[in-house]
Amino acid sequence: MATAVSTPSMDPAVSTFVARKQKALINGKWVEAATGKTFPTYNPATGEVLAHVAEGDREDIDRAVRAARAAFESGPWAKMSPAARARLIWKLGDLLEKHQEEFAQLESLDNGKPLAIARVADLPLSIEHFRYYAGWATKIEGNTIPLALAPPNKYHAYTVREPIGVAGQIIPWNFPLLMAAWKLGPALAAGCTVVLKPAEQTPLTALRLGELIQEAGFPDGVVNIVPGYGETAGAALAAHDGVDKVAFTGSTEVGKLILKAAAGNLKKVSLELGGKSPNVVYDDADLDRAIPGAASAIFFNHGQCCCAGSRLYVEKKSFDKVVDGVAQQAAKIRVRPGFDPESDMGPLVSEEQLNRVCGYLESGFRDGAKAVTGGKREGERGYFVKPTVLVNTNERMKIVQEEIFGPVVTAIPFSDPGEIVTRANETVYGLAAGIWTRDIKKAHATANQIKAGTVWINCYNVFDPTMPFGGYKQSGWGREMGHEVLEHYTEVKSVFSAL
């Protein structure tokens, strides 16, 4: 049995949901794992078991892929007009909106993030994501193309964009519902069918979303949700020959495994991986904005963001002021359980992440880094870490090179603005970057030279479904969001017709 969780403010639907044994959604039915096994998901604020979930594995993935294939080839989905698909996706957004408080609570319990943050960030972004892609369902077009080598009117030539087929989607735990929305929205708009594997740390909101998908009226087999571990269910999905395309968000290490697994049938691959994003503050920045901006760049979502501004570069004259300012902001952050109304930052998602982040802190101290604030775990119960600002750091240190994925920023001064772009680019990653300056020419010149998929000028962590997101270098392949992502879920067919 799951540990009873109950607070005065908890939505009764949430207590009922977590008390129930959670199943997998395959072909429109909620089913136990083929092996009958379950795994626990934990409340990271306490370390206690929150719910028990069907442990999907190879056999369950196979069943789900077969269901997705049948739904793609011959079910009602295959015959449905784009407008009808759009209405279903829109309805899903509406249902999510109707249940948003319940989802925010479930997300906060399973992931640890403050309930207030889930309410203002994860939920509205997920809802609008579905609505944005509902709009795209009727706007996926080909072109009519005048041939270069043939005389006019000898051929009628055109391209068509068709859904790619069955998509396998593997998502992480940092924004569990939002990552499900990022993946499902475009796949469904394009007319694909899906097997989604949520992260083992945070399967609950994806499973509840599965119930809404059924309520919205998506035909059986269009969306299948198989919870389970990465090495088993995830690996089976990435390798399955019946999957046409795999989309993954997570670690760069696993991204490389996905790529190898996909080689069997050469399924298409898109990857949204790690980052070690530079956040550059020039002396001419408006420091009243840059300081809180640099703090929220790293501390938002406890630093568990692939685009976190984890390498803070500050021009020499402003270094002390910015570091002190960011440290003061950090010290003010109230680190409490997500359900506490006073919580600004919750626990990290798991004991594993707690140990990983604390391991990085120790490695930094061994290498000579100094904590201006924070630097250790907070309390002894749950997986809390103090917001941390490290100085005396340099590019040779592991903490400056590797993704920590916690509330830890390394601050480094620079004196030569001509060199800062080279230093900012000295990383295997290229996901995002921040630039703070009042000089518009400098801002755009820096943005132009940074090798990263997203650049924020005098802001950070701004997301919108219209704006593509993804990485250069080892931060990944392809882009999520915008119209760009639709390319991952469609094949282009060229048709030549002699006149």
Could you give the residue numbers annotated as active site? Answer: 272, 306
Q: How far is the CB of 382 from ligand NAI (least distance, A)?
A: 18
Q: Site mask, ligand NAI, residues 225-264, x = CB under 6 A? A: ----xxx--xx--x----------xxx--x--xx------
Q: How far is the CB of 203 from ligand NAI (least distance, A)?
A: 9
Tell me which residue has tokens 């995002």.
Answer: 432
Residue placing its CB nearer to Mg ion in the complex, 50 or 68: 50
Task: Identify the bridge partners of residue 49 per DSSP, sorted by sequence position.
Answer: 42
Residue nearest to ligand NAI (CB): 230
271 binds, among Mg ion, ligand NAI, none (CB under 5 to 8 A by kind): none
Residue placing its CB nearer to Mg ion in the complex, 251 or 296: 251
Residue placing its CB nearer to ligand NAI in the complex, 282 or 469: 469
Q: How far is the CB of 50 from Mg ion (least distance, A)?
A: 6
Binding residues among 166-225 for ligand NAI as defined by CB under 6 A = 170-172, 174, 197, 199-200
Q: Is 445 left (phi over 0), alpha (psi -120 to 50) or beta?
A: alpha
Binding residues among 277-316 for ligand NAI as defined by CB under 6 A = 306
Task: Give the residues lining the site for Mg ion (CB under 5 A).
Answer: 41-42, 110, 201-202
Q: HEC states along the chain? A: CCCCCCCCCCCHHHHHHHHCCECEEECCEEECCCCCCEEEEEECCCCEEEEEEECCCHHHHHHHHHHHHHHHHCCHHHHCCHHHHHHHHHHHHHHHHHCHHHHHHHHHHHHCCCHHHHHHHHHHHHHHHHHHHHHHCCCCCCCECCCCCCCCCCEEEEEEEEECCEEEEECCCCCHHHHHHHHHHHHHHHCCEEEEECCCCCCHHHHHHHHHHHHHCCCCCCEEECCCCHHHHHHHHHHCCCCCEEEEECCHHHHHHHHHHHCCCCCEEEEECCCCCEEEECCCCCHHHHHHHHHHHHHHHHHCCCCCCCEEEEEHHHHHHHHHHHHHHHHHCCECCCCCCCCCECCCCCHHHHHHHHHHHHHHHHCCCEEEECCCECCCCCCCECCEEEECCCCCCHHHHCCCCCCEEEEEEECCCCCHHHHHCCCCCCCEEEEECCCHHHHHHHHHHCCCCEEEECCCCCCCCCCCEECCHHHEECEECCCHHHHHHEEEEEEEEEC
110 binds, among ligand NAI, Mg ion, none (CB under 5 to 8 A by kind): Mg ion
155 binds, among ligand NAI, Mg ion, none (CB under 5 to 8 A by kind): none
Q: How far is the CB of 307 from ligand NAI (least distance, A)?
A: 8
Q: How far is the CB of 480 from ligand NAI (least distance, A)?
A: 11
Q: Does 405 bind ligand NAI (CB under 6 A)?
A: yes
CA atoms within 13 A on the CB side of 215: 15
Q: Site mask, ligand NAI, residues 332-371, x = CB under 6 A? A: ------------------------x---------------
354 binds, among ligand NAI, Mg ion, none (CB under 5 to 8 A by kind): none
Q: How far is the CB of 204 from Mg ion (least distance, A)?
A: 7
Residue placing its CB nearer to Mg ion in the complex, 91 or 197: 197
41 binds, among ligand NAI, Mg ion, none (CB under 5 to 8 A by kind): Mg ion
Tell me the number of residues near ligand NAI by CB under 6 A: 26
Residue placing its CB nearer to ligand NAI in the complex, 214 or 251: 251
Residue placing its CB nearer to ligand NAI in the complex, 81 or 265: 265
Count the neighbouring beta carbons within 10 Å of the beta carbon of residue 215: 13
Residue placing its CB nearer to Mg ion in the complex, 42 or 132: 42
403 binds, among Mg ion, ligand NAI, none (CB under 5 to 8 A by kind): ligand NAI
Q: How far is the CB of 47 from ligand NAI (least distance, A)?
A: 17
> Per CB under 6 A, which region of 127-135, 272-280, 330-338, 389-397 contacts ligand NAI?
272-280
Which residues in this chain contact ligand NAI in the complex, by CB under 6 A?
A: 170-172, 174, 197, 199-200, 229-231, 234-235, 238, 249-251, 254, 257-258, 272-274, 306, 356, 403, 405
